[in-house]
Structures are given as C-alpha cells and as structure tokens.
Amino acid sequence: MLEPWTPVDAELAALRARLLEGERRALAKAITLVESTLPAHQERAQRLLSELLPFAGKARRIGVTGVPGVGKSTFIEAFGLMLVEAGHRIAVLAVDPSSVRSRGSILGDKTRMPRLAVHEAAFVRPSPSGGSLGGVARRTREALLLCEAAGYDVVLVETVGVGQSEVAVAGMVDFFLMLGLAGGGDELQGIKRGILEVADAVMFNKADGDNRVRAERAAAEARAALRLLRGRGQGWEPVVGTVSALEGRGLAALWEVVEAHREQQQASGRLDAQRAAQRRTWFEEALNDGLREAFEARADVARLLPELRRAVDEQRITPTEAARRALALLHAPPVGASASSG
Ligand code: GDP
C-alpha cells in the first residue's frame, strides 16, 4: 500500500493555491523548490507535485532542438509571441547540458527572448544547473508539470543539439521539433540519426533572402532521406519544411502541424501510451539514480571506487571484476552506518 501524504502545511497550501491561479511568482518559487538539493526541500517539492498532479497534463509539450546558432531562441521568441497573441499561455523551459558541469547556462536565458520573457502570458525559465544530466532532466520534467498546473497550455522545452540531452528532452515531450540549417552538401550530416528517428518535424530555419532557395532544397533532400530512413510506418510521418524565425514565415503552418499531430495522437491513443511510457522510464531512471547515489554515498564504496577506476585504467583488472568487487560491498554491512537498521 502507498502511504498517504501527511497534510500540507499552510505555507505549502498557499503556494499551491497561488500557483493554481496562474501566479508567475508562485510558479517560479515552486520550481526553485523542485530544483533545490536540500532533502527537506525535496520532500516539500514532492508533496506539492503530488497535490498538483491532477491539474497537470493538459499542455502541448514541445521539444525544440538544434545546434547553437540555428536560431532556437529567435524561433522560440517568434513562435511564442505568435501563440500568446492567439490567446495561449506559453512556458519555456530548457535542458542545458553545459549547465551540468559549469553551472553556467547557455540556454533558456531570459535575455535570449527579451520580448517573450516579459509578456504576461509567458513564463521563461533557464535550465536548472549542476548535477548529472539525469538530475537536470528530472527537475525540468517536474517544472513542466508545475507549468501545466499553473495553466500554461503550451510548454516548449529547449535543448542544444548534443546527443544525450536531446534524448532526455524527447523523453518528456509529445512533439519533438528539430531545427536545421541548410549547409553545403549532405543536409543530414549535421543532423544525427538518433534525432531524426525521434523528430516529429524537421524545419530548416533562416529560409529568407538569399538563403530561402537553399533551405527549400535542403528540406527536399532531408524529406527524401527521411523516407528512406524511417520507411512508411503507421502513425505520424515526420514533417519536413522551412521556416524563417526572423521573418515569422512558416510559424503558423508549423503550429497547424503540431495541432494535427496532437489530434492524430489523441485519436489513436498514442498520446496516452507515449506519456505512460515516459512516466515509466522516468520512474526507472529515478530508481537507478537513487540506487547509484545511495551506493556511492557509502564510505567504503567511496574509498574503493577511485582505486578500482585506476586499476581499470591501467588494465590491472577487468572492468567486470572491478564492478564485481565494488558490488560485493553491498553484502558487507555499511562501514560507519548506525546499527539501528539491523
Ligand atoms: P540559437 O543559438 O540556436 O539560440 O540561435 P539564435 O536564435 O541566437 O540565432 C543565431 C543567429 O541567427 C542570430 O544572429 C539570429 O539573428 C540569426 N537568426 C535566427 N533566426 C534567423 C532567421 O530565420 N533568418 C535569419 N536570416 N537569421 C536568423
């Protein structure tokens, strides 16, 4: 049986109420709670999330990726402004792999989308920083739920085009948009296969001025290649086209694509199935991360691991044997642990 939550205290109840009313400051505060690494904050954050879960889930969750310079922030600003003008409420989140190490952020920075960030129907939040990519992704997923509970009906999750973080974002959205650039020659070179396999749309940006013809050509090539790569399956066929974030060209058509995708996914039951699979993966990942953290927190493990890593580097031991020796510690009582558990 799952234990029921202890009732929320007055402060948390007030935060929940303000968030449900769509108050931006309450949302920001809740996300800060979710991002905190303090155990007491984490517990409060999880309690708040559980309370808000029934109000989440209604947004179009859209991932946006592309290499630095492709025009992601220009695109998100233009696309976001178009949608708020049409009456939507837009939240912009980010998963920035550079923030994992440096604790700095190259993505999701408010100054990158100056007009959208100050719009009253928009909420722009930089990537959480620090910790593992898994940790950053977990906090972004939770922030996404909070945005939904706060009434944002479109959530854009931005990431740069470097493998792992794209996979993480693909695992939390309904629709994955890849922004591309027309280059010389092989148009798919810059677009990794793994991403093509999960993209629901590939849009070549900067289709304006002299570049427009090249962008159209790139899109035609990518369309043909994608057909070869993915074949004709059942379900959604990825859409390949061109946009100009700068001129706003193609953005309305792209929104229609997002809506058509949504309708198809809902009608076929794929939306629910995909979200259920994502939640399941999220749970398994959280479990893995937690196990690893608890394991590495043991004093005996912390002592032995550097030694084993060195031994593996210097080929004094096979990686399998090294892992076996580390894991053998699980059968020994934790050194320095209190005896209360036994
Ligand atoms: P990001 O690094 O992917 O976020 O890219 P930015 O949005 O910062 O854009 C990089 C550069 O490309 C900036 O100088 C933008 O003004 C320019 N840019 C973005 N979108 C377009 C577009 O549609 N057309 C043209 N011509 N330039 C663009």
Give the model confidence (pLDDT) of 228-252 as tens digits: 776 666 678 889 999 999 999 999 9
Residue type, 57: G
Question: Is residue 51 predicted with pLDDT exceeding 60?
Answer: yes
State the pLDDT at residue 111. Answer: 74
The residue to mutate among 65, 74, 243, having the most atoms of ligand 1 within 8 angstroms of its beta carbon, is 74
pLDDT in tens, 299-339: 999 999 999 999 999 999 999 999 999 999 998 876 655 44
The yes-or-no verdict on residue 120 having pLDDT over 60 is: yes
Nearest CA to ligand 1 atom 24: 206
State whether the beta carbon of 214 lies less than 6 angstroms from ligand 1: no
CB 20 within 8 A of CB 53: no
Band of residue 341 on the pLDDT scale cut at 50, 70, 90: very low
- Distance in Å, CA 70 to ligand 1 centroid: 6
Position in ligand 1 atom list of the atom nearest CA 205: 23
- DSSP symbols for 34-77: HH---HHHHHHHHHHHHHHGGG---SEEEEEEE-TTSSHHHHHH
Q: What percent of the chain has pLDDT over 90?
A: 65
3-state secondary structure of 249: strand
Q: How far apart are CA 166 and CA 164, in angstroms?
A: 5
C-beta atoms surrounding 178 within 10 Å? 25
CA dist 270 and 105 (Å) reads: 34
Residue 94 token pair: 């980010």
**CB of 206 sitting under 6 A from ligand 1:** yes
Q: What domains does the chain contain, in order, with CATH numbers?
A: 54-268 (3.40.50.300), 284-331 (no CATH)
- Strand 175-180 relative to strand 60-66: parallel, antiparallel, unpaired? parallel
Q: What is the pTM of this model?
A: 0.88
Work out the mean pLDDT of the chain and round it to a whole number. 87
Q: How many whole angstroms from 244 Cα to the centroid of ligand 1?
A: 9
Closest by Cα among 169, 119, 117 to 143 = 169
Atom 15 of ligand 1, residue of closest alpha carbon: 71
For residues 130 and 165, give the distance between their C-alpha atoms in angstroms, rounded to a whole number: 14
Closest to 96 (Cα-Cα) out of 45, 42, 168, 27: 168
Q: Tokens representing 81?
A: 């402004």
Across the range 124-137, mean pLDDT stands at 84
Q: Is the CB of 205 under 6 A from ligand 1?
A: yes
